[in-house]
Amino acid sequence: MFSQQGFFFPNEPGIYKIIQNPQKDSKSQDNQPQPPRPFNLGVNQQDFANSLGYGYVYVDDFYKEPSKLYGNVDERANYIWNNFVRNSGSSGALFTGKRGSGKSILAKHLANIAISKGLKVFVVAELRIEKKLISFISNLNNCVIFIDEFYKVIGWQYQDDFLSLMSDGNKKRLFILTENDTSNINRYILDRPERIRYHYEYSTLDPNIIREFCQDHDVPMDFENQLLKLNMSNKNFCFDHLQALVTEAINSGRWDLEWLIGILNVKSLKMKEIKRPVKVCATDNPEIFLDLEPSAIKDDLGLVKIGNAILNTNYRIWDDLKNNRPVNEAAIANYESSKSTIDHFEEKMELMDKIAKQASNLDTEGLGSGDNTRFRPVFHNSGNEEAPIPPSNIIKVNFSSEFMIGMEGDMYIYTDVTGEFKVYIENKKLVF
């Protein structure tokens, strides 16, 4: 698809590293070794490169890859490549996610495909982007520009300038970018497919990858299930961890996950997650949610309570009305006014009744320390005075792994101790 005549610089396909001052003599007084195989450019091109102070050197023919690629690495890479070839102008692919998640494997596999099709891959690393370097890159054509750990190379100061490179319709370039944290990337790069066409985010490890890897290494089924549960409960779990745990178990002959995590350099797997209860819903009506407040958590047990002050106040009125107890006119007016502003009000009140029946048998003692030793929920009435709420809005949840029933996005889903309710837990905050 691409001929050698189309290259700006007449070099063979392969991996090339962009460097400063490539014309510097290797026998200079500082006696520092120079990168291997520096290339002379054409006369005019050499003058141009010298004026900017940049050039490039040969690194290798291809990136080294694992003997087997797990997941859909090859499928994704070929899809990106085929669309790049099919369309005119430049394109880009951004791979984000934590270290060891697999984004670099995909990036390098895509680069290797480009090399096999006759392109050069120019790596920008150990350099900080500035205007002369951008000018140098702007004259590269029919090639791949590979920037690993994007923010380390291109800080906020020059990201706007770099955008013009990706928007140049007169050049045929494939930009491959990796970055751990998307917050380090210019908002005009994110969500702009005309500049960066593809964006793959690596978060939790695909369970199918775990199963396939375990099958290839004859991992006992019980240990495989433990790894799957670990992947579900710890968002830091990545392919590097998987490899380390399995190979160490094979070498040691010990299929003891807790012991393996204890001896390996896997700090993020040793961290205990503090989970903040955020929502609860009845299993028979998952569309009706109640806002929750965090409560004392100890030994994987937690109490969650309804935190909506209007709802709490009106529950008192609701209960009085249902049981034909006297309610003053001002309270009824407040009840009717707030009722209209709360979606599914009647359903939520019924849900509170359901919680009340469950909570009557809950032991609320001994789940915290200090002021929380005895759980005392409160609400603020219209006079902003604290008033006690009976324990009819309390749900007791066990946050241990056996009570976890799934995940939805960034939430873990737990059942309460009676199995009546599902509790959604944020999983971002970690402590040791």
Q: Name the range with the highest mean pLDDT among 178-182, 197-201, 312-316, 359-363.
A: 197-201
What is the per-residue pLDDT for 31?
42
In this structure, what are the phi and psi dihedrals at residue 374, rounded to the nearest 5 degrees? -110, 125
Helix (H/G/I), strand (E/B), else coil: 402: helix
Alpha-carbon gap, residue 56 to 66, rounded angstroms: 27
| DSSP, res 365 | B
pLDDT class of 82 with cuts at 50, 70, 90: very high
- How much is the pLDDT for 241? 93
What pTM was computed for the model?
0.59
Q: How confident is the model at residue 87 (pLDDT cuts 50, 70, 90)?
A: confident
Q: With contact defined as beta carbons under 8 Å apart, do 275 and 426 qualify?
A: yes
Q: What is the pLDDT of residue 272?
A: 63
d(CA 261, CA 264): 5
pLDDT over 90 (residue 175): yes
The mean per-residue pLDDT over the stretch 111-135 comes to 90
pLDDT at residue 50, as a whole number: 53
Cβ proximity of 273 and 427 under 8 Å: yes
Please state the separation of Cα 286 from the chain's center in Å: 26
Residue 255 banded pLDDT, cuts 50, 70, 90 = very high
Q: Hey, which of 39-48, 304-313, 416-425 has the most confident mean pLDDT?
A: 416-425
User: How high is the pLDDT of residue 167?
Assistant: 74
Task: Tell me where in the chain the CATH 3.40.50.300 domain(s) lie.
Answer: 4-202
pLDDT at residue 374, rounded to an integer: 39
Could you please report the per-residue DSSP string of 333-358?
Answer: HHHHHHHTTSTTHHHHHHHHHHHHHH
Over residues 194-206, mean pLDDT? 84
- Looking at residue 364, its pLDDT comes to 54
Q: What is the mean pLDDT of residues 42-59?
A: 64
287 vs 24, more confident: 287
The yes-or-no verdict on residue 9 having pLDDT over 60 is: no
Quote the DSSP letter at residue 38: B
Name the architecture of domain 4-202. 3-Layer(aba) Sandwich (3.40)
The backbone torsions φ and ψ at residue 301, rounded to the nearest 5 degrees and listed phi first, read -105, 145
Q: H/E element holding 413?
A: strand 411-415
Q: What is the mean pLDDT of the chain?
A: 76
| Angle, vertex CA 128, rays to CA 126 and CA 132, nearest 5 | 120
Largest Cα span, the chain: 98
Does residue 343 carry a pLDDT above 80? no
Residue 378 confidence (pLDDT): 40
Taking only the tens place, the pLDDT of each residue in 207-243 is: 889 999 999 999 999 999 999 888 877 878 889 999 9
The more confidently predicted of residues 303 and 228 is 228
Q: Which residues lie below 8 Å from residue 18, measured CB to CB, with a gap of 6+? A: 54, 55, 56, 122, 123, 124, 127, 133, 136, 137
How confident is the model at residue 109, as a pLDDT?
96
CB atoms < 10 A from the CB of 141, how many? 15
pLDDT at position 271 over 80:
no
The pLDDT value given to residue 277? 72
Residue-wise burial string across 148-160, b where 16 or more C-beta atoms lie within 10 A, e elsewhere: bbbbebbeeebbe
379 — pLDDT class (breaks 50, 70, 90): very low
Write the burial class of residue 242 (CB in 10 Å: 0-12 exposed, 13-18 middle, 19+ buried).
buried
